[in-house]
Structure 1
Amino acid sequence: MAVKIRLARHGAKKHPYYRVVVADGRMPRDGRYIEQVGRYNPMTNPKTIEIDLEKVDEWVSKGAQPTNAVSHLIDIARTGAPAAEKKAKLSKKAAAKAAEAAKAAAESAAE
């Protein structure tokens, strides 16, 4: 049986909330799991990461494989560093407005 430590999605549409679970690799993402070992909420500021590292280490010693996302969360939980915030990209219209405003400010400063 391939055991994985992965995220199970909960929460409402466009408001995700994840549980870090130990599950059989053949089970569906949000299906039956063996044990819940943590929680992750990306909607709070800063992002909330609560993982029981002792349970995770115990399962890894038994052969459970964490997914890439869970490995990253475990590293963040071990170091205690806050999760890196992604830079919000401007839409094309907003970028054009910002460029126009900067150009107008440069012209007024040159006069």
Structure 2
Amino acid sequence: MALKIRLQRHGASHRPFYRMVVTEALARRDGRFVEVLGTYEPQAKRPEDELNVKLDRVDYWKSVGAKPTDTAASLIRKARREAPAEAETAEA
């Protein structure tokens, strides 16, 4: 069973909303999945609502062999860059 970390498209026409999920590689794009890892809303009103990813769960799934798609990998990198800034804000 090959696992992928990829995006599922939800939302209305011209108003996309994506869930980042772990799924089998042969499953349909919006079909069965194992776990929801986060969300991505490119047209969010506030920048902090645009990307929410559970990085600890992403690390777990990658350690068990799940491969992220190119888009998912770029969003994970973006979430990692933003994570330290959020941690600094929470401490203040």
Q: TM-score normalized by structure 1?
A: 0.70
For 1:3 and 1:24, the matched residues in 2 are separated by 5
For 1:61 and 1:44, the matched residues in 2 are separated by 31
For 1:71 and 1:14, the matched residues in 2 are separated by 24
- Corresponding residue of 2:30: 30
For 2:67 and 2:9, the matched residues in 1 are separated by 18
4+ long deviations beyond 4 Å: none
Q: Which runs of 5+ in 1 are unaligned?
A: 82-111
Alignment of 1:83-102 (within 5 A): none
Give the superposed CA RMSD: 1.3
Q: Which structure is richer in relative contact order (CA contacts within 8 A, separation 6 or more)?
A: 2
Alignment of 1:31-70 (within 5 A): 31-45=31-45, 46=47, 48-70=50-72
For 1:27 and 1:44, the matched residues in 2 are separated by 28
- Corresponding residue of 1:16: 16
Q: C-alpha offsets along residues 12-71 of structure 1, whole Å, 9 cap, x if unaligned? A: 111110000000011000001000010000011537110000000000000000000010
Q: Which runs of 5+ in 2 are unaligned?
A: 84-92
Q: Which amino acid aligns with 1:25?
A: A
For 1:79 and 1:36, the matched residues in 2 are separated by 21
Count matched residues. 81
